[in-house]
Amino acid sequence: MFEGVIHTGTAQLSVVQMLNEKQDANSILYWLNDWERSGAKAPHETVTDDSRALKAAIARSFCRCKDLQELRDKHFAFLTGESNDLPPCYLRVDNAHIMATAKRWDAGKNSQRSA
């Protein structure tokens, strides 16, 4: 299940939901595009979990990039001063999901901590 919410400053409101057994980028992209076709404006920022399919769909729908690689390339070009062209939506992965992923990494599991 995917859910779109809006933060108002005092509340968090659910505005759109998708329940589907198929959770690939194309299915999610169709859902996001359908939401925009219904009159909703694309957000300026999204916060997601670490789902590659969700990130790919957001990159294509809200960021107007052909894939995640193009999105990364645009950000890199901006950061290095090669371009001023930023996508219209900032895609951010929630910190809690990044930390959960980092815990599964092999690096550092067997290292000794020094005081």
Instruction: Tell me the DSSP string of 8-75.
Output: -SS-EEEEEEE--S--SHHHHHHHHHHHHHTTPPPPSEEEE-S-HHHHHHHHHHTS--SSHHHHHHHH
Domain limits of the chain?
2-103
pTM of the shown model: 0.74
Confidence of residue 66 (pLDDT cuts 50, 70, 90): very high
Across the range 70-98, mean pLDDT stands at 91
Instruction: Give SS3 for 90.
Output: strand
Strand 45-48 versus strand 90-93 pairing type: parallel
pLDDT tens-digit readout, 5-46: 777 889 888 877 777 777 799 999 998 999 899 998 889 999
pLDDT tens-digit readout, 40-62: 888 999 988 888 999 999 999 99
